[in-house]
Amino acid sequence: MAEEKKFRWGAIRLRGLRQRWIINTVMPVFILIVLIVVLFSAGVSSYYYGTMQKGLETRAQAIANSFNEYFMDSGYISFYPKAVQAADSFEDKDRIELQFISSSGRIQVSTSGLTAGTSPGTGDITQAIETAEMTPFRGWDPETGENIMAVSHPLVFHGNVVGVMRLVTSLRAANRQVMLAVLAICLIALLCMVLIVISNLLFINNVVEPVAVVSEAAKRIAAGSYGFQIEQKYTDELGELVDNINDMSRQIGQNEKMKSEFISSVSHELRTPLTAINGWGETILEDPTGDPVQMRRGIRIILNEARRLSTMVEELLEFSKMEDGRFTLRIEETDLQAEFEDAIFTYRELFRQEGIELRYEAGDEDLPPIPGDPERLKQVFCNVLDNAAKHGGAGKRIDASIVREGGEQVVRVRDYGPGVPEEELPYVKQKFYKGSSKARGSGIGLAVCDEIVKLHGGTFEIGNAEGGGAVVTIRLPSSE
């Protein structure tokens, strides 16, 4: 039931993503297309009707001028017969109606013959009579109810308007042309919208599908399926996202594996010295003879195991400080050579008891002090020496040196053991990493050393030496 709810909620979220995508991408395009259609329709209408009006005005101007010049010279008496003559000789009777209207607004002569004696009642006639200027009209004819365009030109005799010459044409054909043009642009706009919607749906589906895959993979990883890999079948940014998710999953899986190994290792490492301490403590306590040799041997073992426990606890504390950002330094002028030699002196006798020879070589010159934390740096040296004994003690020899190279003071510690497998070298400084080594330890000592050296502005390197064994190189910047 819970899985079904999760699936339903995921589907709802994906539908919401699809809807938001469509709204945010298609709606602006739709508004833009509607605006283009409206502007185009207005432009087409204005062009058609403007062209028609301009043509009518030009035609009316020419006819009126001709009529005034040739037919109005004899006065108003000849107006009617000359109007009849002009109407009879008008050539475009099939397309345009020519009307001669009296100053009272009534049609006296018309090429159609049907409107004679009527009063059109449109504003262009009245305005032409009142202003003595040519006036256009577009609208519905009050008499016929037809959509028309008209141009009224005043006929003037001795400065007085004696009548109006009017050209009238139906807008049925023009309206049809305008409607066809608007319909064509609407169909084109609709086709564009359909193509845009389809392309966006295809695109968003290609986005939503991998998002759903990545979301499901993220849920599985969050649920504990560390190391789970998504099938890579994308080559664009989604492919990069899948690669990042896979890398993250792989890294989490490795970290979880190292953490589990770390917990197991630490548990074992803690149990072993505690068992030895408890065992020898009980042996010494219950020994009725009080043999001093046996007692000294037991106490030595207890001290060694207690020291090992202290080292492990100290490493864990240092690691905890590193993780939560409390790992700090107390910087002061530090004699690096003196601190390194103290560590050599501390471990030389211990190594001798284990059959390991520790050889130390100092440079030919006295090294100047450097800014650093002496306790932290000595901790690094002790950890490196102890690590060389644990992992390279089989070679029965450890070489240590400190020299000045350019502007750096360089510490090297080399063992003659089996070295580090090449495939493990990139990971040996990672926390919890122990690799194939069977030596005892928590796996965080080298990570702590690397962090300390980095905080001092130096480098901490681990590699294999020529002739066998591993070598640790610590480089710290000199103050001079």
Q: Among residues 179, 128, 111, 122, which one has the least CA distance to residue 145?
A: 122
Do 297 and 389 sit in the same domain of this protein? no
Residue 29 sits in a domain of what CATH number? 3.30.450.20
Do 359 and 472 sit in the same domain of this protein? yes
Return d(Cα 266, Cα 273) in angstroms, integer: 11
DSSP 3-state of 358 = strand
Q: Among residues 312, 385, 308, which one has the least CA distance to residue 344?
A: 385
Q: What is the pLDDT of residue 315?
A: 67
Do 453 and 463 meet the contact criterion of CB atoms below 8 Å apart?
Answer: no
Q: What is the pLDDT along the chain (480 residues), one digit of tens a residue?
A: 444 444 444 444 445 666 777 677 778 888 888 898 889 888 888 888 888 889 888 888 888 887 776 655 555 556 777 778 778 888 888 888 888 888 888 888 888 776 667 778 788 888 888 888 899 998 888 777 788 899 999 888 777 788 888 898 888 888 888 888 889 889 998 898 888 888 877 777 776 677 777 777 777 777 777 777 777 776 667 777 778 878 887 887 777 776 776 677 667 667 777 887 888 788 888 777 777 877 888 888 888 778 777 877 776 776 666 666 666 788 899 999 999 999 898 888 888 888 899 999 877 677 889 999 888 898 889 889 988 888 887 788 999 999 988 889 999 999 998 888 888 888 787 766 666 565 555 567 788 888 889 989 999 999 998 888 899 999 999 865
Residue 424 in any domain: the answer is: yes
Domain that holds residue 298: 237-323
Residue 92 in any domain: the answer is: yes
Do 29 and 167 sit in the same domain of this protein? yes
Do 472 and 343 sit in the same domain of this protein? yes
Residue 170 in any domain: the answer is: yes
Return d(Cα 340, Cα 143) in angstroms, integer: 117
Return d(Cα 148, Cα 128) in angstroms, integer: 17
Residue 277 in any domain: the answer is: yes
List Cβ neighbours of 317 (8 Å cut-off, separation of 6 or more): none
Residue 346 sits in a domain of what CATH number? 3.30.565.10
Q: Is the pTM of this model over 0.85?
A: no
Do 119 and 144 meet the contact criterion of CB atoms below 8 Å apart?
Answer: no
Do 287 and 332 sit in the same domain of this protein? no
Do 42 and 163 sit in the same domain of this protein? yes
Last residue of a domain, one of 157, 175, 193: 175
Number of domains in the chain: 3
Do 318 and 337 sit in the same domain of this protein? no
Cα R_g (the chain), whole angstroms: 52
468 phi-psi bin (left φ>0, alpha ψ -120 to 50, beta other): left
Do 185 and 40 meet the contact criterion of CB atoms below 8 Å apart?
Answer: yes
Do 131 and 66 meet the contact criterion of CB atoms below 8 Å apart?
Answer: no
Residue 180 in any domain: the answer is: no
Do 305 and 332 sit in the same domain of this protein? no
Whole-number Cα distances in Å, 427 to 226, 422, 432, 446, 462: 19, 10, 10, 10, 10
Residue 185 in any domain: the answer is: no
Return d(Cα 28, Cα 121) in angstroms, integer: 47
Return d(Cα 163, Cα 180) in angstroms, integer: 39
What letter does residue 410 receive in the DSSP assignment? E
- Phi, psi dihedrals of residue 424, rounded to the nearest 5°: -95, -10
Task: Tell me the helix, strand and coil percentages in the chain, rounded to 5.
Answer: 60, 15, 25
Q: What is the pLDDT of residue 11?
A: 45
**Residue 435 identity (one-letter amino acid):** G
